[in-house]
Amino acid sequence: MANRIISPSLLSANFLELSKDIEMINKSDAEWLHLDVMDGVFVPNISFGIPVIQAVSKQCTKKLDLHLMIVEPDKFIDVFADMGIYMYTVHYEACTHLHRTIQKIKAKGMKAGVALNPHTPISLLQNIINDVDMVLLMSVNPGYGGQKFITETLNKTQELRELIIKRGSNAIIQIDGGVNYETGKQLFDAGADCLVAGSFVFGSNEAETRISNLLKL
């Protein structure tokens, strides 16, 4: 299993003081910064896009963890590769030709992740698990921060860990949504490698401490 990773979600940051929040991330024990891109079509919300991520990429010293909740993720592979994105995650539900998309991402020198919505079963990953670098399990319905954790995610995490071991895959497991100390410990115990934390980190006056504590669960 990979080392534990915390990837704070920029979606919950203070956009009027983004530079300050990124400096906090740079100083923290977070290894990645999670970037949620939403198009208002695949999910019922719009977040931020290319100009914001370009600005963030110039200041952030951590690995950029891009989560595309959009209908045509293939369109932006070249653009984001040029920004130095580390992990490029697309939704299983948004990709008609998932294997081709993953090949394109890797050809551009990025790591390739695939995300599953809460209702999407792990079994659909059997033929792709050895091609991806990460699987992101949504533990809330995608589109908004601050939602309640879906407890079935714990069973899905265990099932995914079993599939990874069975197939000899090197994929890591990331969980996004409703992460706090309680759910974080349960997820790490279930086999997760990487936790995305949004409002739990950025909504706190002790953000750096919370990141450190999550890693120690």
Q: Which residues form the catalytic set?
A: 36, 176
Helix (H, G, I), strand (E, B) or coil at 21: helix
What the block records as the tokens of 196 is 């995305």
Q: Distance between CA atoms of 90 and 74, rounded to whole angstroms?
A: 9
Q: Distance between CA atoms of 77 and 55, rounded to whole angstroms?
A: 18
CB contact at 8 A, 114 and 132 = yes
What the block records as the tokens of 165 is 């071991």
